[in-house]
Amino acid sequence: MNAADDKTIVKEYFNSTGFDRWRRIYGDGEVNKVQLDIRNGHQQTVDKVLGWLKADDNLADLSICDAGCGVGSLSIPLAEAGAKVYASDISEKMVEEGKQRASLTLKNPENLTFAVQDLETLSGSYHTVICLDVLIHYPQEKADAMISHLCSLAQSRIILSFAPKTCALTILKKIGSFFPGPSKATRAYLHREADVVKILEKNGFVVQRQSMTRTRFYFSRLLEANRK
């Protein structure tokens, strides 16, 4: 399968069965145990990013690009905390849901702009570029190109998360218990941290903060890298 196929499949998935599944996981309604585990794991990643950015105490001065924003799980609280957020996603259904959630909860909607756009075609310049749990849908070569493009949009900082290619996860993936259930409709790619760091460095960024979220079914390595 080539990278274009991956992208088409991912887009179709997040506009159909994937939308229903992830809208529920990223919501607060009833879900099954696996989905609840993924929901909790993902929330830890979101909370970690919010914690880092709030600790810096300058959110009101920042422009943030949230590439592959999903239903706005990170974009909405970032906008609420004062940042100017440009949220975009390849799936119009996810963006529609994000807009809906923002309209119900956000008291300062002027801080948040949504767009339906794949991150490869994003342009502009933002203080911080964030891309959470998106690279898992793409093989390394494609992920490299995506990271490089995102770096070109970042004036100062990039924050990425990916499923790390560790021995344990590789085995879990082989026996099929990694991202079980309908999400198997898309492939899950693991990435070597060294490969991600190398591509960040090639683009002039150096890792400053890092974190790992690991629950039973959710694994996400989080890196914050700053321009050298």
Point out which residues bind ligand SAM (CB under 6 A). 7, 10, 14, 22, 26, 67-70, 73-74, 89-91, 94, 118-120, 132-134, 137
Longest CA span, the chain: 46
Q: Tell me how many helices (H) and strands (E) the chain has.
A: 8, 7
Cβ contact 86:111 at 8 Å = no
Q: Which is nearer to ligand SAM, 51 or 206 (CB)?
A: 51
State in angstroms the smallest separation of the CB of 80 from ligand SAM. Answer: 15
Q: Which is nearer to ligand SAM, 67 or 112 (CB)?
A: 67
Cβ contact 81:145 at 8 Å = no
Q: Which is nearer to ligand SAM, 26 or 205 (CB)?
A: 26
Output DSSP code: residue 191: B
State in angstroms the smallest separation of the CB of 228 from ligand SAM. Answer: 26
Q: Which two tokens stand for residue 180?
A: 């079980």
- C-beta atoms surrounding 141 within 10 Å: 11
State in angstroms the smallest separation of the CB of 106 from ligand SAM. Answer: 16
State in angstroms the smallest separation of the CB of 188 from ligand SAM. Answer: 10
Q: Which is nearer to ligand SAM, 120 or 193 (CB)?
A: 120
Q: Which two tokens stand for residue 170?
A: 């590789």
Q: Which is nearer to ligand SAM, 137 or 165 (CB)?
A: 137
Q: Which is nearer to ligand SAM, 203 or 220 (CB)?
A: 220
State in angstroms the smallest separation of the CB of 19 from ligand SAM. Answer: 8
Question: Cα-flanking dihedrals φ and ψ of residue 97, to 5°?
Answer: -65, -40
**Nearest-angstrom CA–CA distance, 140 and 192:** 8
Please name every residue paired with 130 in a beta bridge, in sequence order, or none if there are none.
66, 159
Cβ contact 15:92 at 8 Å = yes
State in angstroms the smallest separation of the CB of 214 from ligand SAM. Answer: 16
